[in-house]
Chain A
Amino acid sequence: MAELSILEAIRSAMDDEMERDPNVIVLGEDVGRKGGVFGATEGLWAKYGDKRVLDTPLTEAMIAGAAAGAAIYGLRPIAEMQFADFVYPAFNQIVSEISRMRYRSNGTFNLPMVIRMPYGGGVHGALYHSQSNETYFTSTVGLKVVAPGTPADAKGLLTAAIRDSDPVLFFEHKKTYRLFKAEVPDGDHVVPIGRAEVARQGRDLSIFCYGYMRTCALEAAETLAAEDGVEAEVVDLRTLRPLDVAAVLGSVEKTGKALVVHEANRFGGFGAEVAATIAEGAFEHLDGPVTRLAGPEVPAVPFHHSLEEWFMVSPAKIVEAARKLAAY
């Protein structure tokens, strides 16, 4: 097994799939010679050439729309949005076209494509380089939405996404890119889309999270165990759509308490869907109010470090919310 960062795991998944399948191409802004602004595609242009690793103009609608066309033709494009914050010009293509091409053609056209997007704050990116905008896409039927939190999941889920016959939006929390290294299985490593993982076993409450929040929740759980004797179960959803409902309900049935954590805004955020799922499916198992801990109700992450810190969901904030829920 190799020790990889999340960034290296993502690169490794693309490299392996490009080597395995000549239909896999990469397109996006600065993904070629430069290797991407975060380095995710480093080395791919030199290895696979101009036609399979395309530096595009600054045209997000084109990146998504041309990827869709190439997918219609039979390729498996991996499109990169330089930041999730810049995906909006492509919104029409993603929502009006990409999500529903299969449905509207009665299954005769399908789009095997991935759109990779660095998202999330905590990197001094301010309002336009920090957004967690996954909910726009999790609320769109026809898309799959994935947000890994470990190197092994990043590699395995991206591999699954590239091989999937439907469009997958792949959210990569940019703070996690080089945050830590961990073991990634060698060889063909696939993590199925649509399955959550219990990252830490616990009996007292369940913390549901994804992406960078997995790291924060695990840290919070250790603090809770050491300082409060509270054993939190941490469930990394990994895939937001389709949601692993059985895993969510199974954990709540075990602990009786649910805390949903995400960095995106609280109102109408993904936590609302998880909370509603729990309320409908595990009502009789609940020993406390389903609780959400989310980004504050401001339009986006402010820049100054003190303001950004105020915005970010942190292990300390998770501990605080979990203590309150555990004591209920």
Chain B
Amino acid sequence: MTDSKTAARPRHAELGLSDDDVLAMYERMLLARAVDERMWLMQRAGKIAFIISGQGHEGAQVATAWPMRRGHDWMAPYYRSIASAITFGMSAEDIITAHLAKGDDVSSAGRQMPGHYGGAPYNIVSVSSPVGTQVLHAVGIALGAWVRGDDVVTITSFGEGTANQGEIHEAMNFAGVHKLPVIFVCENNGYAISVPLDRQVGGGSVAARAQGYGFPGVTVDGGDVLSCYAAAREAHERARRGEGPTLIEAQVVRLTSHSSDDDQRRYRDPAEVETLKEHDPIPLFGNELRNAGTLTDAIDERLRADVKTQINEASVRAEARVEPDVATAALHVYGPEAD
């Protein structure tokens, strides 16, 4: 009797997540996907110059960002982190506005190309293009928290291609030396633009490298949202206990080409591309929540309708925003001499 009751208890409840929590996570994933898809449409319509997609990464992103305390902890994301940023406080409108390069865009006021969001009000570090640089910033923020003795955790994310940059090694080594409160999330989608994992990562595992730095490296299925969450929650708690960093390698799929300027049919087997959808975290998580009795058709329809409304409204508002004034282009090169 006891056994069957335990077995019947949903995984998310075992992890301390309520039904509302997991439905909210599911909703964030739907929202991030909808933002992403809307921006592809806007790109095809000539409204957005370029789009670099996070489709297929949403499960890992929402789950790893979920334990992070909004407005308190810090995030140094990368250009594919739409769902991470949305989970950590940016709105759909913020993301679309940044991609439209509007004059009152919170990320850069139209200075940065699409995919380079961020925002001081959200503790999200401004994204740049040279890959991996943000990982050192995350370590530096964690260093700052450590110096001051603040209970603050920093999360940073990057792809498996970036994992090979020297700066990643320098960052992880230093974080390991001082047991800094930082979470490294490698979103391994198997391709660095066109180059597959076996031509990028010696040994085949990014997570395994953590052993050399003296902290745990865990590999999780990026299609399994609750596994990603469990790893991130443990990493967050470890960091708060002063036990140092964790490297989470989430094995995800890249459902789209690298960007709107790329065509993955040139270097990926069509059969392989076809199987990617089986690993799409949204239906996988949806099915899990249905099987747990948490998600019903009615709830799913309501969430999807609500997301659609949000996206439509966010797009309209974002498009109506002002264009940058050329008179602002030379501002903010230097600040006041002292502050």
A residues lining the B interface (CB < 8 Å): 25, 51-52, 56-57, 59, 61-62, 64-75, 77, 89, 92-93, 96-97, 101-110, 112, 141-142, 144, 160, 163-166, 192-193
Contacts and interface: CB of A to CB of B under 8 A. Distances in A.
Nearest to A52: B147
Nearest to A167: B334
Contacts of A67: 140
Contact of A57 (B105, B174, B335): B174
A263 B107 CA distance: 41
Contact of A104 (B111, B130, B147, B336): B111
Contacts of A109: 118, 120, 125-126
B128 A104 contact: yes
Nearest to B177: A57
B170 interface: yes
B109 interface: yes
9 contacts: A65-B136, A66-B140, A69-B137, A69-B139, A92-B130, A109-B120, A110-B335, A142-B333, A166-B334
Given A97-B128, A107-B332, A165-B339, A70 B144 contact: yes
B107 A105 contact: yes
Interface in B119-151: 119-121, 125-126, 128-130, 133, 136-148
A102 B339 contact: no
B327 interface: no
> Which bracket fits the contact residues of B?
35 or more
Interface of B: 74, 76, 105-109, 111-112, 116, 118-121, 125-126, 128-130, 133, 136-148, 166-167, 170-171, 173-174, 177, 331-339
A73 B109 CA distance: 22
A104 B126 contact: yes
Q: Which 7 A-B pairs have the closest CB atoms?
A: A69-B140, A65-B136, A73-B144, A107-B332, A66-B140, A62-B170, A106-B109
Given A69-B136, A108-B119, A112-B339, 4 more contacts: A72-B140, A102-B334, A103-B333, A104-B111
A71 B140 contact: yes
A165 B336 contact: yes
B69 to A, nearest CB: 15
Contacts of B76: 69
A97 B339 contact: no
Q: Which of B106, B116, B133 has most A Cβ within 10 Å?
A: B133
A193 B107 CA distance: 30
Contacts of B136: 61-62, 64-66, 68-69, 93
